[in-house]
């Protein structure tokens, strides 16, 4: 008998198993989180060729293709360089669940650094935010720190 496709159902298959990964932070990145835990401040690294200070610190300066070793101690403050309020729902690959919205995604230049650091700003009212505002990091309690980027809870706006 010939199979009929007249009544064929079109099926989709869903897989929902966890498949964990493990990533190395690198030696300077690890130092960044240690500095937060021990001193509640940031650390950057200076390129020997272009003298740009990167924070968080990384081992290599891309434009110069040069290795960096000179760590630079920074504070816990910076300047808001750009921001947007995220207002649409989406699945967060870190958790497998929808990320809570709205929240403000901010580009922060830490004081003493030349690079920009992306993190969350603790304000969702766009009328209260503007590019160039001072911001200050709010850290987790030491007991709750895990050595990852969430050891910084968010950045607070500092009144001018």
Partner 1 sequence: MNGRELIYEAVSRSLVDCELTIEDIDAIVIGNMDHFESINSADTWSVEGSGGVMKPIMKINTGGTTGTSVAIAAYYHVASGIFDRVLAIGWEKNSESDTTGAIITCSDPIWDRFSYSGAIPSLATEAIGYLKRSGATQEDAARVAVRDRTHALNNPYAHLRKPITVQDVMESPMLAYPIKLLDVCPRSDGACAVVFASEEAARRITAKPAWVTACSVRHSLSWFGDFDFDAGLLSLARASREAYEKAGIKSPPDEIDVAELYLPYSYAGLKWIEDLGFCPQNKAPEFVWSGATDMGGRIPINPSGGVISTNCIGATALLRVAEAAIQVMGRGGERQVPDVVNSLATGFGGCFWSDVFLMSSCMP
Residue nearer to partner 1 on the CB measure, 101 or 158: 101
Residue with Cβ nearer partner 1 (67 or 92): 92
Cis status of the peptide bond prior to 102, with omega within 30 of 0: yes
CB of 142 to partner 1, least distance (A): 19
60 bridge partner residues: 67
The distance of closest approach from Cβ of residue 44 to partner 1 in the complex, given in angstroms and rounded to an integer, is 12
Between 1 and 128, name the residue whose CB sits nearer to partner 1: 128
Read off φ and ψ for residue 127, nearest 5 degrees. Answer: -70, -15
Which CB, 1 or 87, lies closer to partner 1? 87
Least separation in angstroms between CB 89 and partner 1: 9
Which residues bind to partner 1, rule: CB under 8 A?
21, 23, 25-26, 29, 56, 62, 81-88, 90-94, 99, 105-107, 115-120, 126, 131, 148-150
In Å, how far are 81, 98, 108 from 104, measured between CA atoms? 13, 16, 12
Tell me: cis bond preceding 56? Omega within 30 of 0 counts: yes
């Amino acid at each position: 008998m010939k199979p009929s496709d007249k009544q064929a159902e079109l099926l989709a298959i869903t897989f929902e198993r966890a498949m964990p990964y493990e990533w190395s932070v690198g030696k300077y990145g690890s130092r960044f989180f240690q500095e937060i835990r021990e001193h509640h401040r940031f650390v950057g690294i200076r390129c020997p060729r272009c003298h740009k200070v990167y924070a968080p610190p990384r081992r290599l300066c891309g434009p110069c293709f040069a290795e960096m070793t000179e760590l630079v101690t920074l504070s816990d403050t910076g300047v808001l360089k750009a921001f947007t309020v995220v207002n649409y729902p989406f699945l967060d690959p870190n958790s497998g669940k929808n990320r809570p919205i709205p929240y403000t995604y901010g580009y922060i230049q830490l004081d003493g650094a030349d690079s920009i650091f992306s993190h969350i700003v603790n304000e969702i009212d766009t009328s209260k935010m503007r590019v160039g505002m001072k911001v200050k990091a709010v850290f987790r309690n030491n007991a709750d720190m895990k050595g990852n980027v969430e050891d910084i809870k968010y950045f607070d706006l500092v009144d001018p």
